[in-house]
Structures are given as structure tokens and as C-alpha cells.
Structure 1
Amino acid sequence: MHTTTTRVRRRWLGATVGAAVTASVLLGGASTAAAATDVSVKGVLHQGERGQVVYEAIKPASWNGTLVLDLDFNNWNPAQRQWFLSHGYAIGGNQRTQNETAYELHDYVDNLVETRSLLMKAVSAADGEPSEPTRTIAFGASRGSFVSRMAVEYRPDVFDAAVAFAGGGAGVIGSWLGKTDSVWALKQLVDPSSRLAISGLPDSPTGEYGATYDQDVALGQLVGTASATPQGMARLVLAAAFEQATGWPSGPEPAATDYETQGKAIAGSFAFGNPQFVLKEIEIMGGGPVTWNHDVDYADLLQRSGALDRVQWWYDHAGLDLQADLATLAGAPRFAASPEAVSTVEGIGTFSGRTGGAPVFSVKTIGDSADSVSLDTAYQQTMRSAGNENLLRSAFIERPGHSSQSLVEKLAAFQTVVDRLDTGEWPNTSAAALNTRAQQIAATLPASAGDSRFIEYSPAPALRTWDFTNWGSYPYPAATAASPGELTPSTRDSVTVAAGSAAPGSDVEVDLGEQRAGQWVSVWLYSPARQLGGWLWVGADGAVTVSLPADATPAKHRLAVLDHEGTVLGWSDLKVTPPGHR
């Protein structure tokens, strides 16, 4: 087992159980046949490390071969445990951490896989022969939803399906782009002198993070200031639009045009929906800031947010000029991420949509203040981009709150996925069909299992997303061209163009040398200076490929490459030939 206590990223990949794992194995019954024996394992993984978690797993006597694993298994209530066990399902999982390992999604999946291995060793010991599940299903809500989606991508050899509740579909970066947009806008419009850092958050003196973290206290104070006046409220409602915050985070649902009630509810849930300690944990994990806004048009975000009418109502009510505040945001100083940190978190906290054929059922309440219902569309987009949209189904629940699905709704979603695995085809996943399924399940459970409120719903598309289609593309702030005089003889031919000539609109490969691999550069055609694409990531071979403008003038040009600080790395002559010329 790989163990380290001071690091930015941790990988625990081995299946060996050593001193960091303690276990108790409880075998019930006299028979040695696993089919007739209850088996339970529990203990601690990574004992004494920052990623220390408990594990527990249970196989019922009459096991149907399916194992269900949840990051937050330690929070399963007795009724949920009993339903699964009584229906023949083995169950298990772990707990979440609350430090810099909090969003190490791969590590969480590794913990689930290790928990599975420990249970199967115990089952095999009881059975007298090797035993493996016929199916393993990832199941989880909130952070567990991130983990269940990652499980089928990271370990498709283990997980056959995922049931994901209460968010996670946008991935770690996508989820926080909107949140930092919202907090940044609130600070700029209400109190630019607030000690809120927005990005690159300060360390906690204790190294532990939670609601008492100084940045969360500062955010609470800023929300309090904004909530005290109609003007502050208007600006808070505007800021919340940038993360597509729900107008129904709690209580009875307000009327569609009751913008006053909606705004007050948004103010009451704003700090809960933007926990700064979580962002800090993610920054520690990545090794630096992972969000940015230097390329954001906030007027455009508002138009696409689905909240324009609510924002305009509050600005009219407060007697403020909405366009003036949007202009203030447009002119305010922006913040940038660390490309290295973004790259790190891309690898462990964003999605590719490649599940190895495993189906995913995503279920969201429409009044979720911690993970906007619109973020579910980000996952739909990811699955479409991967060509796997048929492996995904999404459902929505007419209820406020984060992770507020009832037990019967969870079980209805789970049974839907089981049917999909049994038949190879999705059953009816309409709201009516899901409610019918849930009602049938509810008839066998006490009233405490809750009701079912699935509805047909189409959220506004997510504003800012980040998935595998964006990997390696994080830009620095807008590049600036070097002056022609900076293209000196000393840097001539320090970069080379594979072809000495090219036609307008054609691709050109530029070789910078392998020593530049992993760097961000901008490429320019002179003169006048025209940037060829945005920021470009130099591949392992030390080269980048650019497209010449279709209207490039046939003539002798110079092609120059600059680093992220604007320093000329090199330039070379390039002849642009007339179209069709050889």
C-alpha cells in the first residue's frame, strides 16, 4: 500500500491490506455455503493517514449476486439497509473525508473496490471457494454522486452501472466555475473590500476545513450585508443567476412569478450552496486555483441563465440600473487558475462519458441549492460528446433541498437500473412510470420511506462546463502579440515549420522542441500580427498544429511562438501560397 502524509495528490492503488487496515469478519450460521451465510466486514482503510475512512460491507444469506457500493454507506439508515438486504443485495461502502482528500474521486473509487475485495475474501472463506459478485453497482448522492459516476469511468472492469443522486454531473471544475462566478460577482457589487479571496484561498491554521473556515465566515458576512437592503438583495439575486441558483431551495414552492419570495429564499441558501472550505480542499488537491473568469461575459451568462426576469424584477424593485452593474462586472479585475492545477483536477475530478458500456441513471431534485439542476445538462452533454447518450437517463423530482430524495424514489431509480441490466434496454423512465414504480415499492414500506414526486422537467442548459472535451485547453488570460521588432535574429528558426509553405486555411505543424512539452504558447502570423487559435498546449512531441486563416494573403510571412508571459520563443519564415498552388 502506498502511504504518504504530506502531498498534493494521493493515489492508493494497491489491493494489499496491511497495518492501515483493521477488519472484523462476522460469519453467521453453521453452513460453509456462502448462499446460506450472512457475511459482514468492517474496519478502517488508510489508518493514520489524511485519507482515513471506515469501510463496511454486508452479504445477506440469500444473495442474488449483486453488490451495491456507496461512498456514504456509513449514513445509510436501517430502513434502506434492510430493504436491500431483504431483497438479496449485498451492500457496502465507506465515508467521505473532510480535508484535502475530500474530492479525490479516484481514491474514493479505489476505497470502494478495496471494500469489495475485503467482502469477497470473507465470502470466499465462508464458501470454501473463490467468490465474486455477478454485478457491482455504484450508488451515491451529493459527493457520492460524483463518485458513482467516476466509478464506471475509472473502473469499468469492476462497476456495471451507476445510480447518481443530487448532482455531480458537471464534475469538480464545472461545478465550481459557476460558484466562483457567483461569489466573485457578489463581492464586486456589494463589497469589493471584503476579505473573500474567491480563488487561491488562504490555508486553515489547523489544516481542517468546515463551516467555521474563515472564508466561509467572510461569505456569510457578505451575504448578510447584501440581504440588509433592497439594493444588496438585487445584486445577490444577480450574482446567484451566474450559478443558476434555484428559487425554491426550501419550504413551499413559490409561484413562478413570485420573485420576491424566490429572492429571499436564494439569499437564505446562498452561503450553503457555495461552501468555501470545499473549494479550498479542491485547490489543495489540485495544487493551486482551479477556477477562473478572465474570459467570461457576464451579460451573456445572465441572458442564458433562465433567471433574467427574476433579476430584472429585483433591480426594478431596488431602483438600480442592471446594465450599469453588468458594466461594473465587465470592467472589474478578473482572476485566473493555475493551468497545472486545472490539469491535475481534470484527471481526477472531471468526466469523459466513457463508461465501458455501463448505464448511468442521474436523478435530481429541481430545488437543489448546492448543485443547480441545470448542471445535470452538463453530464448529458458529456455523454453525448462521448457517443454514449443512450447509456444515460435523467429524472427530476419536484422537491426543494439538496440530496432530498425520498427512500422510495431512490429505490425506484435503483430498480430501474437493475431492469436495464437485466434486459439490456432501458425500461420506461417517464415521470409517470417512475412514480408508479415508487408507489409499488412504498406499499411494502412504512410511511417514513416518503412519497414520490417525479416530474417531467427540462432545465436551462448549464452555463459553464468542463469535461474531457476541454482537457488540456485551459487558457491563460488573453495573449498579446509581440511587436515586429521583437522578432530578432537571435530567435530566428528557434522554432521550425514542418512545411516551408502552406495555402490559406491549411494546417501547419510548428516544432518547438521536446523541452517545451507541457507548456502553453500562443502562435502568431505576421504582419499584421494575427493569433492562430487560442492558447495551445505543447504535446509530448514538442509540437503544436495551427490553421492558417482562410483569408491569409499569399506572400512571405513570419510565424512566431510566444510563451504565456509574452516572451518570443522563436520565429520562422513561412510562405503563404495561393490556393491550389503547388
Structure 2
Amino acid sequence: MPFPFRRAAGAVATAAALALVPTPPAAAEDGPISLRGVHPTGATYAIEVPANWNGTVLAFSPGYGQGAGPQQRPAGLGGNTAAQNWLLEHGYALAGTRPYGDGWAVEETMRDSASTLAVLAEAAGTPEATLAWGSSMGGNIAAGLAERRPDLVDGALPYCASVAGPVAMLNQALDAAFAFKTLLAPGNTDIKLTRLSSAEEETRGNTAARTVLDAAQQTPAGRARIALAAAFAQVSPWSVTGTPEPAANDWAGQQAQQYAAFMPTVFSPRYPLEQRAGGSMSWNTGVDYRKLLKESGRTSQVQALYRQAGLDLDADLARLDRAPRVSADPEAVAYMERNFTPSGELDVPVLTLHERGDNFPTVTQARAYSDAVRRAGDGRMLRQAFVDRPGHCGYTGAEFVATALTLERRVRTGRWSDDAGARELGRLAERLAARDPDLGTAQFIRLTPDRFLRPHVPGGTR
């Protein structure tokens, strides 16, 4: 029996809505469909519809810096090869959009995703269920489609996603960069925190920051201050793929992992985002760094490293209190709120997926998102899954398929069943992998991330 699903108003389905469910798409009878093309905007798209299409399509958005450009780079389909193969073999259609714009191309991708789905509907018929999924920035887009386009998508699976939004993400990075420069490079004019004038200026500043960072890592005092700055960005103490997790009291081992992830986490690209937004969307006016440290989950580590170095932590925190602060440009903040900062208001279900040791974004972004959804009163619409490893977007096929099937079941039945928890997702992944070893194993865990230190929702304090 076809399932009732929401459209434009996001209204609860009723028996009358069953009459609006389309007939099975033509692809189920006419054979597979494979399309590649370019939208008038320059965005590229890819569409695969199997002959046995079950009516569900997963619509993919890519991560930061993956624009099509004038070379018309082809769009991807999401997940990984093993997951794509499984989904297509089991009747799921896949669609992907690669925006022409580069960098933080959220605005373009949200628009062009609708165009890709229109092409699919014309070629194969109207989907019964459309699930938006995406990696990193693309996961932010999937969350954006869930909030802004419940007429277009029926659910979203953001994975390794910046679901705290760009304002919160860049404020988090600013806090760490501010502490780093204040304590380790106060006179270095090459390291500029915001309002960058050119890509060359950003590159020069990042080169200078890397030099300071590497020198600081050679001394106990430098390592302690790196750990303090890393605490403000909530850089994971288990960051390097392929390495064992440092023990709970292995402060030096944890700091080494934070050092390895420091530059890409704290000095991630800022100039392209400021150009797009028309100014700086980051500020630390009014921030209490003593309070942030207490709430960071890293206090014991930082205190231990300061003691080992013979440094006065209170004195360094006082230096941060006295240092000149950074303000934001309201118009730039407003742009990043539109493109896209989640409000947490959901009309369709969302299932997020994060690695415990991810820093790009940090896993605490999942907590920021769940807190926003809860405050909006829509906690019933959200479930979150976590896997027990470091790294960014390195999921197995079993993890991709298990979460996709779980979200689809929620869309089709209208409720989360017991299979949305870590243990149940793990069991589902094991069953999938037993039948198709190419999917690999899964490492789902139960996790409540630390509170995100600088959350921001549209209209929040600036």
C-alpha cells in the first residue's frame, strides 16, 4: 500500500491525502534511466533510476569547494560506491547536484537541487519519497532543504554535516584563532582573524600561523597554549584516522591529536565566505573565555598541561579577557543565516550522522542542532547517529545504507521505530553486510556530544 506523505504545507497526512499519491513511476516498467546534464545555471546533475524503482530517491549535495565550475565537473550521487550499488540494486533512485559556484555554495545548491529533482520527475515520474542527503556543507544543504522545502523533500540525512550553521562554525573557529594569536603570536601582523582583503592575505596569514603553531609544539608552554586554544574550538582529542584513541588521562597524546587537526579546524577558509556574505559574520564581543573553558569538556587536560609547563592558566585567561575583541557585520551574518543557519523548525524527519572524532565540523555541531530542534519544539522529528572513529565523512557502505533505510522507514510509516538507536542501527548494518560484504562493517555508538560552545540560530545575539 502506498504511504501518505507531506507536501507544501508539511501537514500531517490524512486518509484523503492518499488520493494524491502518484502511481508507480514509469521507470518500473520502462527500464533503467541514466542521465547526466547541465542546468542553465551551470550546475551539473546526475540521475540514476533503476528498472525496479521503488519510488524513493536520495538527492545528494556535495561538500565545500566541490563546484562544477567552467569545466562542468560531473555531479556525484552520494554515499560511497558500495552504498550506491546496494541502493540501486534494491530499487532506490539516486540524484546528485553539483553547483556551478565554488566555496560555500549553499544558496546555489539549494536552488539547483530543485531543478535536478524536476528533471527526474519529468523523466521517470514523481517520486513517492524524496530524501535529501549530503556530506559536510552538503549536509547543511540537506538540513536546509528539510526546513525550507518540505514541499520538495520528505526527509533529510545530513552526514558529517555543519548543522550548527556557518555563523556558529566560524565563531567557534574565531575563538580558537583569537586565543592562539593573543597567546602565541600577539605581534604577528600577518595573522589576521577576520575581514580578509584577498585570498593571498589569507594564504600569507595561514602560512604564518602554521609556522607559529609548529614552533609552539616544540615546547611544553606552546603545547599547553595550543591545547587551550583547541579547547575553545572543541577540537577532538582523537582526530587522526588510523590511530588508536589516546587514553583518558594521556594529556600529551590528546594534545598531539589536537595539534594535527588544529590548522584545518581553526584556520579553515574564511576569505571566500566573507566575499560571498559581503563582510565578516564572526564576533567574540562579550565572550567569557573562562566560562568557555569550563564548558568545553577539556578543562582537566588544559590544566594538566599548564601545570607541566609551569604556566599560570589564570594569567593567560586574563590576557584573553583584556585583548581587543572582534565584531561582526550584520549584513554578513544575515546572509549566512539565510544560507544556511538551521532554526530547528522541522516539518519533515531528519536523521543526522557524525563521526565521534570529526573536526570538520566538530561532532559538537550535532549537539547544537539537536538543541535547536528541541527548543523549536520539534524533537520528535529528529534522530541522531554516531560512529566510533576519527576523521571526516569516512563512513562505510553499511553505515550509509542502514541510516538511509531507517530514515526511509520513518518517512513511510510516520514514526520512528525502535531501529533508530545505535544498537539497532548496528544490527541492521550487520545484517546488510552479511548479505553483501562489500558494504563493510559498522561502528555505531550511543553518544551525547558535549554542548556546542557558541550556538547561533537566526535572529540570535550578535
With normalisation by structure 2, the TM-score equals 0.87
- Structure 1 letter corresponding to 2:450: A
Confirm whether residue 462 of structure 1 aligns to residue 452 of structure 2. Answer: yes
Residue in structure 1 matching 2:378, options 381, 385, 388: 388
- Structure 2 letter corresponding to 1:118: V
Alpha-carbon distance change, 463 to 293 in structure 1, aligned in 2, over 3 angstroms:
same
- Structure 1 letter corresponding to 2:52: S
User: How many residue pairs end up in the alignment?
Assistant: 420
- Structure 2 letter corresponding to 1:168: S
Alpha-carbon distance change, 325 to 97 in structure 1, aligned in 2, over 3 angstroms:
farther
Q: Distance in 2 between matches of 1:450 and 1:74?
A: 21
Confirm whether residue 107 of structure 1 aligns to residue 108 of structure 2. Answer: yes
Confirm whether residue 42 of structure 1 aligns to residue 36 of structure 2. Answer: yes
3-state SS in 2 of match to 1:158: coil
Q: Distance in 2 between matches of 1:340 and 1:163?
A: 30
Aligned residue in 2 for 1:62? 52
Do the aligned partners of 1:352 and 1:468 also contact (CA within 8 Å) in 2?
yes
Aligned residue in 2 for 1:137? 131
Structure 1 residues 243-281: Cα deviation after superposition (integer angstroms, max 9, x where no partner): 11110002111111111100011001111223432x222
- Structure 2 letter corresponding to 1:390: R
Q: Distance in 2 between matches of 1:311 and 1:465?
A: 23
- Structure 2 letter corresponding to 1:198: L
Confirm whether residue 436 of structure 1 aligns to residue 436 of structure 2. Answer: no
Aligned residue in 2 for 1:220? 210
Do the aligned partners of 2:351 and 2:383 also contact (CA within 8 Å) in 1?
yes
Alpha-carbon distance change, 259 to 97 in structure 1, aligned in 2, over 3 angstroms:
farther
Do the aligned partners of 2:164 and 2:368 also contact (CA within 8 Å) in 1?
yes
- Structure 1 letter corresponding to 2:340: G
Q: Which sections of structure 1, spanning at least 5 residues, go unmatched?
A: 1-31, 124-130, 475-582
Do the aligned partners of 1:104 and 1:349 also contact (CA within 8 Å) in 2?
no
1:302 Cα shift? 0.1
Structure ranking higher in strand proportion: 1
RMSD, aligned CA: 1.9
Alpha-carbon distance change, 268 to 330 in structure 1, aligned in 2, over 3 angstroms:
same
Which structure would you say has the larger Rg? 1
3-state SS in 2 of match to 1:443: helix
Aligned residue in 2 for 1:564? none
Structure ranking higher in helix proportion: 2
Structure 1 residues 324-379: Cα deviation after superposition (integer angstroms, max 9, x where no partner): 10011111111111011112211222112223x21000111110122121221111
Identity %: 33
Alpha-carbon distance change, 33 to 92 in structure 1, aligned in 2, over 3 angstroms:
closer
Do the aligned partners of 2:56 and 2:127 also contact (CA within 8 Å) in 1?
yes
Residue in structure 1 matching 2:83, options 70, 74, 80: 80
Structure 1 residues 376-422: Cα deviation after superposition (integer angstroms, max 9, x where no partner): 11111111122111100112211111112222111111111111112
3-state SS in 2 of match to 1:461: coil
Confirm whether residue 240 of structure 1 aligns to residue 234 of structure 2. Answer: no
1:158 Cα shift? 0.5
Structure 1 residues 437-465: Cα deviation after superposition (integer angstroms, max 9, x where no partner): 11011112234x33211111122111111
| Structure-to-structure mapping, 1:330-479, within 5 angstroms | 330-355=321-346, 357-428=347-418, 429-447=420-438, 449-468=439-458, 470=460, 473-474=461-462
Q: Distance in 1 between matches of 2:172 and 2:222?
A: 20
Q: Distance in 2 between matches of 1:67 and 1:75?
A: 11
- Structure 2 letter corresponding to 1:74: G
Q: Which sections of structure 2, spanning at least 5 residues, go unmatched?
A: 1-25, 63-74
Q: Distance in 2 between matches of 1:198 and 1:75?
A: 36
With normalisation by structure 1, the TM-score equals 0.69
3-state SS in 2 of match to 1:255: coil
Q: Distance in 2 between matches of 1:439 and 1:96?
A: 35
Residue in structure 2 matching 1:199, options 194, 205, 216: 194
Q: Distance in 2 between matches of 1:340 and 1:378?
A: 23
Q: Distance in 2 between matches of 1:289 and 1:319?
A: 37
Aligned residue in 2 for 1:127? none
3-state SS in 1 of match to 2:76: helix
Q: Distance in 2 between matches of 1:141 and 1:417?
A: 16
Do the aligned partners of 2:180 and 2:225 also contact (CA within 8 Å) in 1?
yes
3-state SS in 1 of match to 2:98: coil
